[in-house]
Structure 1
Amino acid sequence: MCVEGDDVAAKNVRARVRDVPGPCARWDDEDADFIREVLDLVGDKWSVLIIGTLADGPTRYSDLAAAIPGISQRMLTLTLKHLQRNGLLTRTAYPEVPPRVEYCLTGLGRSLLSTVLALAGWSADHHAEIRRHQAAFDSATATD
């Protein structure tokens, strides 16, 4: 249960953080909350992969499912709805038999594409190095 004192304490923490120079000093509490919300949406692993997959244009639901290893039908559906709700993609259902549904990036979604592809590329480029660091850390902390 959230009480009013908790909200005041949270704002005071953010206010103190903004006293320290850095990128967060530019944003007020409302902006900072919204930035975290958007980063949660677009930083989600499935969102990144879906946005990257839609880079080549409209894609059918079944083709998205096949192109993204490990995503469940439920998670694909939920993530597509979140991206649609936030204006990053559109959904077009065609009245055909069998039914055909396509997803396409909006202008807003395309404006995010270069950032998403850069993040995915960075991840692929540094995968082995990150795994080495994880293994070294895990073996060092296992003996502690």
Structure 2
Amino acid sequence: MNSLQLGKYAEYLTKMEFVLWGCDVFTSEVDDHGIDFVIRTRQGNHFDVQVKSFRLTAGKRTPYYLYIQKSKFKIHPSLLLVLVHFVKGMPPTLYLLPSCVGADPNPLLESRDYGEGKKSPPEWGLTLSKKKLALLSEQCAFDTVVKALE
């Protein structure tokens, strides 16, 4: 699969995982705000969801850097990030990250403010090293975090 196909697959997979957990999933016809879909939990709580996928294969360099432009991902208690990790020959692994912890951005997100006149706009990044992937597995396993949303 190319990266566009992988991203679309990750988005559909994530929607189905939320449905399996009893959430309602709402999609928009136009994705111009950086939000892939909205979920409603059984208790009626709503969350905006952004999905990012990545593929790490044997022999490929780590760490892998993944980013989201700050203009498309504004830290808020009702904003979630789902990372879908693809490894050849294995089922995908999903990680669920609330965008903030308390009033502060999630500490796993690295703030990159490049400033005016720079090549890239400001972004939130994740450097997915072996250590960071282990931390994601420990703190952000999809099944564990989705239970806490209710």
Question: TM-score if structure 1 supplies the norm length?
Answer: 0.29
Question: TM-score if structure 2 supplies the norm length?
Answer: 0.28
CA radius of gyration, larger in: 1
Name whichever structure is richer in strand by fraction: 2
Name whichever structure is richer in helix by fraction: 1
